[in-house]
Structure formats: C-alpha cells, structure tokens
Chains A and B, each alone.
Chain A
Amino acid sequence: MPADREPVLAVTGLSKRFGGLQAVRGVTFDLGPGEVLGLIGPNGAGKTTAFNLISGFLVPDAGDIRLDGHRLVGKKPHEVCRLGLGRTFQIVRPFPRMSVLDNVKIGALGRLPAIGAARERARAIVVEVGLETKMHAPAGGLTLAERKRLELARALATGPRLLLLDEVMAGLNPTETAAIVDLIRAINRSGVAILLIEHNMRAVMSLSHRIVALSFGEKIAEGPPAEVASHPKVVEAYLGEAYVHAPPA
C-alpha cells in the first residue's frame, strides 16, 4: 500500500483469550481508504472474534486498533460506530417490530438527529439497497436475502468510513449472492472501505483487493487474492476445500 495513504483501519498485535483458548493471537493488518479486505479462514480461526474486538463488543487482552488514527480499544460499540465503523452480524438481527424504513432510520439518526431528516435519508438508502417494495413492511416478515440487505442498509445509514460485513452471503443462493456482491461493490465504489468475513470463496476473490487469512487465531497469509489462494499455508488450513482454485468472477 502506498506510504502516503493513511490506513482507514490499523490493527496491531491484536490478542484475545477465552479461558484456555487463545482465540486471536498477535494479529496485525491494515486497510486502506476505499479498499476491500477479505478475511478468510476455517471455522474457529478467530474471524468473528476479531470483528467483535474491532467493533467494541469485546475488549482485547493486548494490541491496538485505530480507525482513521482514532484509538478504538476500550471504546463501547456505539462510540466505535460514531467514529465511522458500521457492522453487520453473522446471524441477522433486524428490529422485528419495526418496519424496514424504521429499521434503517435508527441507523440514520446517528448523524441526523432530526427524525424527519433521518427518515428521508433512510428512505433513500432503502431504495439504494433495493428494498423499496418493502419500505413499510415489518422487518420480522422478510426473507433471509431481504434481511441481509436490511442489515447492510442499516449499517450504511450510519454513514461509515468502514463497513464490517460478517458472512453476509451465508445462506443465500447463487442469484441472491451475485446480487449482494454487486451491492457491496457499489457501496465500496461510493467510498466506503470494507472488511468482510466470508466463506464463499468465489465472492471473496471477486470483491477483495487484498485478503488476510487466519488460522487458529494467527495471520498465516496476506496479499492479493490469487496469491493468498495458492499460498501453501492457506491450502493446508483449508485442506479439502475445492474453492481454492475458483477463477476470479
């Protein structure tokens, strides 16, 4: 990464242990402005833990996390969000009793305290993610693919510099996946950096500028998608996975 660009996210020596298990050990990586960084690794590699550490839901045992130079360690999730980091959850969590619009409105209220302005911005984002037909539908009644879009829309409404996407494509069929990939690309093009955890290798390869691979809590590889995909340590960690040789989409 060119030296004159300050990274959006700088993670240094991140570590977290749960009882006897070292979930994350000394992980270090950077994310440049407008970059898409894929975070891959087998189950239990520490990816979601890393997300929780970065977004303030967990406190690291050691390490530093900086967003645009601001120190994130020790900050609560809502403070982290205010500083410009949005995240989605692995198991989607819409506000079930509220409409799609109202869900997104909650995100928008962060930057636009006036309800009217927030609602308008929310409306625009709902259209942007393609949920216009469900604007007033209760979130509890949406399909899985629609909920994923809602989750994205809500996080987007907070006006983030960086978006953390946790397995957004899990449970989606190929058509839905392709649509979400396009949406994520569009969001990235509008200037939002993206850090995504994903098991869908095809999608990760096609979206990411760079990839970081984790295994048992440690970083085992980092670099452009094709390079990481053929890295011996990564192949070893994923032994048996056929997707490693998937061509870029």
Chain B
Amino acid sequence: MSRRAQGVAGAAVLALLVLLPLFLGSYAITLFIFIFFYAFLGQAWNVVGGYAGQLSAGHAAFVGVGAYTSAVLSMQVGLTPWVGMFVGGAVSAALGAVIGYLGFRFGLRGFYFVLLTVAFAEICRVVALNTDAVGGALGLYITFTGNPRQFQFQDNRAYYYVALAMMLLATGVAAWIERHRFGAYLAAIRDDEAASEALGVDAFKYKMLAMTISSFLTGLGGTFYAFYLFSLQPNAVFGIPLSVEIIIRPIVGGAGTLLGPILGSFILSPLAELSRAYLQGSGWSGAHLILYGVLLVAVVLFLPQGAYPYLARRLGWTDHAR
C-alpha cells in the first residue's frame, strides 16, 4: 500500500472513530474508552519496550504515580487535573529516569531489567498501601462532580474523545520517533547495543530518553485513570495485573510497530470483556488473565513479532520509504 493510500485509509478510520459516538450506546462507548485508553498506555510502553527493546513489566508504577499525584493535588490543593496531569507525568518521568539510570548504568539487561522494573512497581505498591496520607489500604476516592475543569464529565462521550486524543498523541510521538534518528538508533540498540556503540550511538543516553518519554506518557494516563474510575487502590493501580494489561496489547499487536498497540487493544479489550462475562460465575474478575497468559504463550511460539507485522506481510503492505 503506497504512502498516499495509507494516509487516506488512516484519515478515513480517524473520521469513523470521531463520528462513532453518535451511533453507539453507552456500553459500546465504554468499551471503546478502554480500547483507546489501553492503546494509549500500550503505545507509551512501546517507546521503551518495543522500539528500544527494554522489556519493562512494571509500568503500572507510572500509572499509579501519575494517578496519585494528580488526585492528591486536586483534593488537597485544588489544582485542576488538566495541569495536575503534567505534574503527575513529570513525577512519573522522574521515577522512570531513576529506574532507567539504575538499570542502564549498572548494565542490567533482559531478565535483570525486567526484575528491576517489577521490584520498583511492587515497592511503590507496598509504600502506597502503608501510607495513610494517601489512603493506605483503603485507597483514594475522588468525589464525582462532573465538572470538566476537574477533568470530570457527565457524558461518557467526553471521556471517549479524551481517550481517543490521548491515543493519537502517543501514536504521534511514536510516529515521530520512527521517522527520526532517535528511532533508528533505538532499533540499533535493540538489535546489538555494543555494535551500535561502535558506530557512535550513545546507547545510555537514548535508552534513558526512551524510558523518560515512556514513563512521562504513562504518567499522563494515570490522571485519566484516576478521573475516570474515581477510585485508586494500591493493588489495582500499582499491581502486576495492570502492568500485564499494559504490555499485552503491544506484544500481541506487534511491539516496536506503530499500529501494534492499537491493533492489540482492539483485539484484546473485547476478548477480555467476553471472557470476563463468560467466567463471571467464578467471582474472580481477574480470570481473563488466564487468557492473557495463553495469548502470551501463543504469540511467543507462533507470532513472535505480533499480529500487525504478520497481517502486513499477508496483505502485502510493505514499507520501502524508510
């Protein structure tokens, strides 16, 4: 498919998504909100986990930090979450920079780096559980006012558009990275870090940049989480299940590709919904995680590059102009 045809197709899909709320009922809109939101988080992860190839299984830490920051600022100081969002993002970015610095300076790769990210997420979780100032084990509850200045909306459709905008923002960032030297360097680092160093690539700097950008964006998502769900529980917002939700979409859809996280979210969110409804009787709402486990195994064994590259090959979409 030529560049031009790609552009036209993209614009058409975008127009469709913008017009969709006019035709959809509340349940469907909610489903789409989750699709867009998790696509956003997945795309944010994609920057460091996909393009830079540094697998992080603790990205929930950034959601949690962003969420708690803007929630607390809103509740204690009355700061509008529209600004608090960026403060939350900044704090998340700082945490990401710390984790990245420790990991990359101390040469932690692969399995060790994954462990580091998990450890930090769990530390955040336990700290939040034990800090009464942010609600401890009970968590934080945000009063619903429906006031747009407080990042709250009466109409579900407003959340739909915010989530869609966020997904597009993250995708825009990923697209920029892909098209510039930053992306090429990340791909080189991912393939062979030492060889890239010999070619003048400051691997540490670029990995840090990727990590910081990724954690910043993820932190922004934390605010959406807080002001859409109105309740922050340490186990939910810092826990492994959320980290899994974040990474499964880009991995199934295609890590390191632009449309991978989006495709993954469109595949997985409905599937998760279905399995949740199906396994309702068990009383354990996390049962869809079994499905995720099976999917992870299946993807690794049969489609290691994810759904998008496979589809692109089958449908003959190749991209020479890179």
Contacts and interface: CB of A to CB of B under 8 A. Distances in A.
Indicate yes or no for A touching B, C-beta below 8 A: yes
Interface of A: 55, 57, 76-79, 81-82, 86-87, 89, 93-98, 102, 105-107, 109-110, 113-115, 118, 136, 154-155, 157-158
B128 interface: no
Interface stretch (B73-81, B179-187, B226-234, B265-273): B179-187
Interface stretch (B29-37, B142-150, B188-196, B293-301): B188-196
B187 A155 contact: no
B197 interface: yes
A93 B194 contact: yes
A107 B320 CA distance: 19
Contacts of A113: 181
Contacts of A102: 184, 187, 322
Contacts of B194: 57, 77, 93
A196 B196 CA distance: 21
Given A78-B197, A136-B320, A118 B181 contact: yes
Interface stretch (B39-47, B199-207, B278-286): B199-207
Contacts of B180: 115
Contacts of A82: 200
A77 B189 CA distance: 14
B315 interface: no
Contacts of A109: 181, 184-185, 200
The 3 closest A-B pairs by CB, nearest first: A110-B200, A81-B200, A95-B191
B199 A98 contact: no
Contacts of B200: 78, 81-82, 107, 109-110, 158
Interface string B117-144: 0000000000000000000000000000
A48 to B, nearest CB: 13
Contact of A110 (B179, B192, B199): B199
B185 to A, nearest CB: 7
Contacts of B191: 95-98
A105 B201 CA distance: 12
B195 A89 contact: yes
B14 to A, nearest CB: 25
B68 to A, nearest CB: 37
Contacts of B192: 93, 95
Interface in B288-322: 320, 322
17 contacts: A57-B194, A57-B197, A77-B194, A78-B197, A79-B202, A81-B197, A89-B198, A95-B187, A95-B195, A102-B184, A105-B184, A106-B185, A109-B181, A109-B200, A110-B200, A115-B180, A154-B199
B50 to A, nearest CB: 13
B181 to A, nearest CB: 5
Contact of A77 (B181, B197, B322): B197
A7 B179 CA distance: 40
A55 B198 contact: yes
A169 B228 CA distance: 63
Given A98-B188, A102-B322, A109-B200, 13 more contacts: A57-B197, A78-B197, A78-B198, A78-B203, A89-B195, A93-B192, A93-B194, A95-B196, A106-B188, A107-B200, A109-B184, A109-B185, A115-B180
Nearest to B178: A115
A118 B188 CA distance: 15
Contacts of B196: 95, 106
Nearest to B203: A78
Contacts of A107: 199-200
A93 B197 CA distance: 12
A106 B199 contact: yes
Given A78-B203, A118-B181, A98 B198 contact: no
A158 B179 CA distance: 20
Contacts of A105: 184
Nearest to A154: B199
Nearest to A99: B322
Contacts of A89: 195, 198
Contact of B199 (A79, A97, A155): A155
Contacts of A136: 320
B256 to A, nearest CB: 9
Among B180, B185, B322: residue with most chain A CB under 10 A: B322
Among A79, A95, A107, A113: residue with most chain B CB under 10 A: A95
